[in-house]
């Protein structure tokens, strides 16, 4: 089966984009057939109903013109852990299937036959990613992934990480634990928001914050634009396209790169196709794509 873990690690209206990114990712997982019971979402959930939001109870990840309704990614976005539960400890428990102390909350119950997709979005620094009140070190993230592998919690795992200096998080990731990871930036540079002022308008109203992050919006809009349901695009093709379109930072790849020949919907959806495109063809498609 297929599982997804989605995390927005920040809080506050100024970080609107992170929760919008994660709810957009949630919509993609649902659209592409992942069982909602197998999607686990962590987000403080303090943005949609913030007094500063001109559209109370809604989040948008892309601008629209005057008179054109936006796509509300918050609608139906089921958040499993919110508020003070968004911590590195909760994240590790979710990943490693440890339900102790989570008051019956969902954790991964995946097996060695399953594929897992993880998407983390927040601020970061060298060897750390952010949470509302603390940070998580690279060694703890890699340790959690290694523990998952040792426990037979996945067949293959794909991890998309959005944060400044995010490339520093996977420098010690083993290449033999069936994890493929990409990051929004290298180990020494920022990643960037997008659809920021003055492009933050939905239906003619300024949101007052960036709507998304460039790396995140790029991979998600790429998935959204595939038809039908991204049925023919490989992870490698998506990665090459994202690398080309994200020009303010340098998207990085880590881990088991053989996984990149699989279809994106093997992880961002519920397919189990081999989808092995020739590498040269994948590069050609990525270069030719709009």
User: Exactly one of 23, 164, 196, 206 is catalytic; which is it?
Assistant: 164
Q: Residue 130's closest CA among 187, 179, 173, 86?
A: 86
Residue 164 known to be catalytic:
yes
Cβ neighbours of 259 (radius 10 Å): 21
Residue 123 known to be catalytic:
yes
Instruction: Find out whether 115 and 3 touch, Cβ atoms under 8 Å.
Output: yes
User: Exactly one of 24, 123, 196, 210 is catalytic; which is it?
Assistant: 123
Sequential DSSP letters for 114-156: -EEEEEEES-EETTEEE-SS-EEEHHHHHHHHHHHHHTT--SE
Q: How many residues belong to the chain?
A: 290
Helix (H) or strand (E) holding 161: strand 156-162
Whole-angstrom Cα distance, residue 273 to residue 232? Answer: 10
Whole-angstrom Cα distance, residue 179 to residue 47? Answer: 32
Q: Active-site positions?
A: 123, 164
């Amino acid at each position: 089966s297929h599982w997804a873990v989605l995390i927005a690690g920040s809080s506050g209206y100024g970080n609107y984009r992170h929760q919008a990114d994660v709810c957009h990712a949630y919509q993609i997982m649902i659209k592409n057939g992942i069982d909602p019971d197998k999607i686990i979402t962590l987000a403080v959930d303090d943005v949609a109903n913030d007094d500063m939001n001109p559209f109370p109870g809604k989040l948008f990840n892309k601008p629209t013109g005057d008179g054109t309704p936006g796509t509300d990614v918050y609608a139906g976005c089921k958040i499993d852990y919110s508020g003070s539960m968004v911590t590195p400890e909760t994240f590790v428990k979710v990943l490693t299937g440890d339900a102790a102390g989570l008051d019956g909350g969902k954790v991964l119950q995946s097996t060695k036959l399953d594929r897992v997709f993880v998407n983390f979005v927040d601020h970061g620094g060298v060897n750390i990613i952010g949470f509302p009140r603390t940070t998580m070190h690279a060694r703890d993230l890699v340790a959690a992934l290694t523990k998952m592998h040792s426990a037979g919690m996945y067949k293959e795992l794909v991890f998309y990480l959005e944060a400044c200096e995010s490339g520093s998080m996977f420098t010690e990731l083993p290449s033999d634990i069936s994890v493929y990871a990409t990051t929004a930036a290298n180990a020494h540079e920022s990643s960037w928001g997008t659809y920021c002022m003055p492009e933050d308008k939905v239906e003619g109203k300024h949101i007052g914050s960036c709507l998304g992050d460039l790396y995140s919006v790029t991979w998600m809009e790429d998935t959204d634009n595939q038809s039908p349901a991204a049925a023919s695009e490989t992870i490698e093709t998506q990665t090459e396209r994202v690398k080309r379109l994200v020009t303010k930072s340098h998207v990085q790849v880590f881990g088991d790169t053989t996984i990149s020949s699989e279809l994106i919907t093997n992880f961002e959806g519920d397919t189990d196709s081999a989808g092995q495109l020739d590498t040269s063809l994948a590069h050609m498609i990525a270069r030719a794509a709009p």
